[in-house]
Structure 1
Amino acid sequence: MHGLGELEAAVMDVVWSVDGPVKVRDVLDELDTGKELAYTTVMTVMENLRRKDWLDRERDGRAFAYVPRLTRAEASARALRDVLDASGDPEAALIHFAHSVSEQESELLRKALPRKSRKR
């Protein structure tokens, strides 16, 4: 995910896959990074994500439970917006993107964009 490190993105994948609040232990148990990770490492990453406004937390007994501030789709849209803003030429970037989409994606875009009425 744009703007996240590899471990941060892996943690967000786990958080997004869970329906409802998730504790550090739950994320640690689900993470599949190919590396043995310490509980404190995952806790630090989740706190960093909270400070970066990717996660919210609430007290759950002696621990915290975390929830995403954005859905995966909202985060993807934010990343696309950041890319367009940084492109220097958003029109050219959009045109190149439009030529790269599949027929199905093109149809989704057509349905999602509101039709603007023409004033005469």
Structure 2
Amino acid sequence: MRLGNLERSIMEALWRHPGGLFAQQLADSLPSKPALTTVLTVLVRLTHKDLVSRRREGRAHLYRATTDRDAFVAETMRAALDQAGDVEAAVMRFVGTVPPEVTAALRAALRAHEQDRDKR
């Protein structure tokens, strides 16, 4: 799932504050200093995308990310592969662009996944 610049900034702020933030706190914390109404509009969009939840506290809503950053990135990568015409070619191109640390992490994840599958 692709996020716009303001959506990404809001999500980054919410991931840094897992306890949640109020819309005014979010607006004040963003470097671009968007209007509160703009932040509220984006929060509604993020809520409809199931990336943000809200809970009434007094006269305002407390907003929280519904998933952590790592889970969001993993889902984004899976969705990108779903769109590939040739998954094997897409993975090969991806692997060819990453540094050795990422290649090592991919190998370790694949080994762990295979071990888990063998246990079933």
Give the TM-score normalised by the residue count of structure 1: 0.86
Compare the two structures and name the one with the higher helix fraction: 2
C-alpha displacement at 1:12, in angstroms?
0.9
C-alpha displacement at 1:19, in angstroms?
3.0
Letter of the aligned partner of 2:95 in structure 1?
A
Letter of the aligned partner of 1:96 in structure 2?
R
C-alpha displacement at 1:61, in angstroms?
1.1
Measure the CA separation in 1 of the matches of 2:4 and 2:100.
Answer: 32
**Identity, % of aligned pairs?**
35
Aligned to 1:66: 63
Measure the CA separation in 2 of the matches of 1:83 and 1:91.
Answer: 13
Deviation by residue 1:2-31 (Cα, 9 ceiling, x = unmatched)? 422221111111111113111101111110
Aligned to 2:18: 19
Letter of the aligned partner of 2:105 in structure 1?
L
Deviation by residue 1:6-60 (Cα, 9 ceiling, x = unmatched)? 2111111111111311110111111012xx4211111111111111111011111
What is the number of residues matched between the two proteins? 115
Aligned to 1:54: 51
Measure the CA separation in 1 of the matches of 2:4 and 2:101.
Answer: 31
Letter of the aligned partner of 1:52 in structure 2?
K
Q: CA RMSD in A?
A: 1.8
Aligned to 2:102: 105
In the alignment, structure 2 segments of 5+ residues that lack a partner are none
Q: Spell out structure 1 runs of 4+ moving beyond 3 A.
A: 115-118
Letter of the aligned partner of 2:44 in structure 1?
E
Matched position secondary structure for 2:47: helix
Give the TM-score normalised by the residue count of structure 2: 0.86
Letter of the aligned partner of 1:15 in structure 2?
L
Matched position secondary structure for 2:50: coil
Q: Residues 81-96 of structure 1: matches in 2 within 5 Å? A: 81-96=78-93
Matched position secondary structure for 1:100: coil
